[in-house]
Amino acid sequence: MEQLSGEFLVLGLIWYLVFLFSTTCHEASHALVAKLGGDPTAFHGGQVTLNPAPHVSREPFGMVLVPIISYALGGGMIGWASAPYDPYWQQRYPRRAAWMSLAGPGANFALAIIAAVGIHIGMAAGVFQAPASATFQHVTEVVDPETAAGLMKFAASVLSILFFENILLGTFNLLPVPPLDGCTGITVFMSETAALRFLGFIRQPGFQMIGIMAAWLVFNELFDPIFTLALNTLYPGAHYR
């Protein structure tokens, strides 16, 4: 359990706002691409929106309770959300369903790129600098922490967490195991017949639990080099601890 302090609580609020925004963008992207592909299920559920309310209403445990508990226990933030879809639509249009699945991680990577652009703008303006060793909540720092205005410190924290959180969400959801987006997303490379056989196979009872367990077991080993690569794209030669 992290020690409670004013800084810890403020940082927790930033984490939660970034998590809520990022997860909402992820699910809204699923819902929008599904609607464009002919499945209005999530649209009728009010989820083609950046308003987090319908997403929280659908998954209050994964979007409120678990993120807060995970932050209190470890300083980071995890959780989940979901968007409904019509399984019969997926059977009729497996390729469209694959693009729908990939839209969520795609939104996360787009947000990470936006954060990176914001960091580079701050560096060009002489406000931000690369930290000596980046962490998951300090990807960028203000040039002079002693005299920096509170707004600049806030901006550095928001951009750092936005960059980290969205690479984390995008990468994790692309793992090709059920029920993660990557498991359906890989069918974009298959013929429709092969995709339908594969989708029927992964729907067997117990596969989702096995998939989540496998994802947690391998993700840490996969994520460190991926995030280090992302950091080196942002700051050549950067290190992650």
Q: What is the pLDDT at residue 180?
A: 94
pLDDT above 70 as % of the chain: 96
Q: What is the pLDDT of residue 137?
A: 79
Residue 237 has pLDDT above 90, yes or no: no
Mean pLDDT of 136-155: 81
Asked if pLDDT for residue 49 goes beyond 90, the answer is: yes
Residue 203 has pLDDT above 90, yes or no: no
| 240: DSSP letter | B
- Percent of the chain, pLDDT > 90? 64
> What whole-number distance in Å separates Cα of residue 97 and Cα of residue 185?
8
Buried b (16+ CB within 10 A) or exposed e, 173-189: bbbebbbbbbbbbbbee
Look at 79-93, 95-109, 212-226 and tell me which has the smallest mean pLDDT: 212-226
Return the axis-axis angle of helices 207-234 and 150-173, rounded to nearest 10°: 130
Q: Where are the beta strands (DSSP E) in the chain?
A: 128-129, 141-142
User: What rounded mean pLDDT belongs to the chain?
Assistant: 90
pLDDT at residue number 6: 76
pLDDT (tens digit per residue) in 162-191:
999 999 999 999 999 998 999 999 999 999
Split at pLDDT 50, 70, 90, the class of 20 is very high
The one-character DSSP state at 149 is -
Output the DSSP codes for 12-62. HHHHHHHHHHHHHHHHHHHHHHHHHTT--HHHHTT-SSS-SHHHHHH-HII
Asked whether the predicted pLDDT for residue 239 surpasses 80, the reply is: no
pTM: 0.93
For the record, the structure tokens of 164 come out as 């980290």
